[in-house]
Structure 1
Amino acid sequence: MQKSDKIYIAGHRGMVGSAILRELKNQGYHNFILKTSEELDLRDSHAVMNFFKDERPEYVFLAAAKVGGIIANNSYKADFIYENLMIQNNVIHQSHINNVKKLMFLGSSCIYPKFASQPLREEYLLTGELEPTNEPYAIAKIAGIKMCDSYRDQYGSNFISVMPTNLYGPNDNYDLNNSHVLPALLRKFITAKRLGDREVIIWGTGKPLREFLHADDLANACIFLMKNYDEKGIVNIGVGEDISISDLAKLVKKIVGYDGNIVFDETKPDGTPRKLMDVSKLNALGWNARITLTEGVSEVFQAVKDKF
């Protein structure tokens, strides 16, 4: 991938896509094709066909997706499976039709079985039942992985798939109805501190374990893999260590400077008990995460502390 190559980032305004764009610019890449969802509806096969025919991108980062937290995934199951399948099908197929040199498909750690052994190794894919609350989204992502592998097998397309762990960073979603756990915690604690609330209520027991990767680290890993990985199957991207929701809440509380109480609403679902990625494959290729959770959350807090 040369500095002047034509690069299309699908989903460049989201947390992942914007991080990839920032990192590419930092590394000297400059020939980008960027379309907002208003300018190009990736669910529209005809529009995507015309876009690829007109623009002819050489490299594609497929970071566009309909995403959300446990509430959104559980409430809008049809939307999550339909929209993600349409986005993937259109972009991957047109990348093949228009001879894209390389495509990277970004999945999610939720593709792994709910009770898979920990840490999650790449070969655990399709070895057990999925977490019911986000099964439609996970199935769409699994379909994307298999689509990339199938086009590689049948046509020799250089399409690769990467599976990020839980992410956070600039341009995250802070809507309490459909955000992920870390941005939701940040917003709750910032708001509680501002309003003088004496307690913050958090869904579940606080026992589930989660791994968190800063979006800038993910972007660096994606570009590293775009340059250095050309095989079928998947590559996990993560930090290789996790933290309980309870301890995460305490960390966010400390960083925000909130002095009230944390209350866990155990009538609400926990989701998957643990999701820790095995990143030995990625580490063996020569990449390791750089940003610690404390550093990353502190940085994000400084950026959003006056928004809520």
Structure 2
Amino acid sequence: MIPTVTFIQIGTRVRAAGKWRALDTAASFKQQGAIRALGTAVIAAHPKLAAVLDAHGLTLDPVTGEVTELEQFNAVLSKRAAQVERNLARFAAEWENAHPGQEPGPVVRARLHAKAWDHQRPYIFKAWLPHWTADFYLALLLGIEILGCNAFFTAVSRQLFGMARAGQLPAARTLSKTRNGTPYAAILTVGVFTALPLLIAQQMSVLAGGATAGIYVAYVLLLLVLLIARLRGWPKRDAPFKLGGWGIPANLMALVLGAASLLTLVWPRDDTNPEVWGMRAAYWMVGIPIVLGAVVYLARGGERAVASESDLLQTSELESQAEAASNPHLS
């Protein structure tokens, strides 16, 4: 008997309405379970398959699609077999505890088996790498994550403190308070506001998409302001490095690409941008800061608070003194 294998390949770029368009592959991943189940059912119902297997002394399980006499060799062919068996034993025990005195039927067993395969798929590389290598890789990723979060948290806290020090924020006097050179008020404020998106969603893909969209809003606005300044003749001073005539085209290209990326991030997809309280999650995470900023700007009568040069010099001197006091080795 010659085994046959069917591969289904779905292109992520299709031509529709006269243009090449990208497909949302998240839905395709969801269909994989249904496709596998359909393939298993078709193979199990093949009229000649049962006869061929029976002629060779083999039996096909119509529920799982496995050849009963060959199941013991699955561990050799599948790197995840041991993990799947542990998952299956766990899920089966949970089902039996929830249904005392009952035996799982073929449908339940098939569902438990599929659930065991799907569980912990992100850790599939552990099956292909030595455990110490996989653990080292996870530890490395954790260190990078902690370092990146701390760097971002520090940058945002510093930005908030700097804007409050320049009088550009409400409650600027409170937000610009320091203790031993540490802007504790700004740090606590950033910590509280950072936790607010968890009220909107808990999925990492949704949080990452919304947060990245918020960053892109600031990036696109900055590029827009920069482009307007360039069209008005900026920069007027000569500098060692300059783009010359390429300044406006480069700025315009960056603005277009940034706006396209922002549009992709806020696009209404149920997987990465689901509806929360009647509106898409990214719209909440991007819209709330914009609305609050607009309210503050209008409340101030459109006034832009800009610190004077003497204030900035005085603040810089105070910061240097505070840093020297907190770190004697610098003095």
Name the TM-score class by shorter chain.
under 0.3
Q: Which one has the largest radius of gyration?
A: 2
Higher strand share: 1
Query: More relative contact order in 1 or in 2 (CA 8 Å, sep 6+)?
Result: 1
When normalised by structure 2's length, the TM-score is 0.25
When normalised by structure 1's length, the TM-score is 0.26
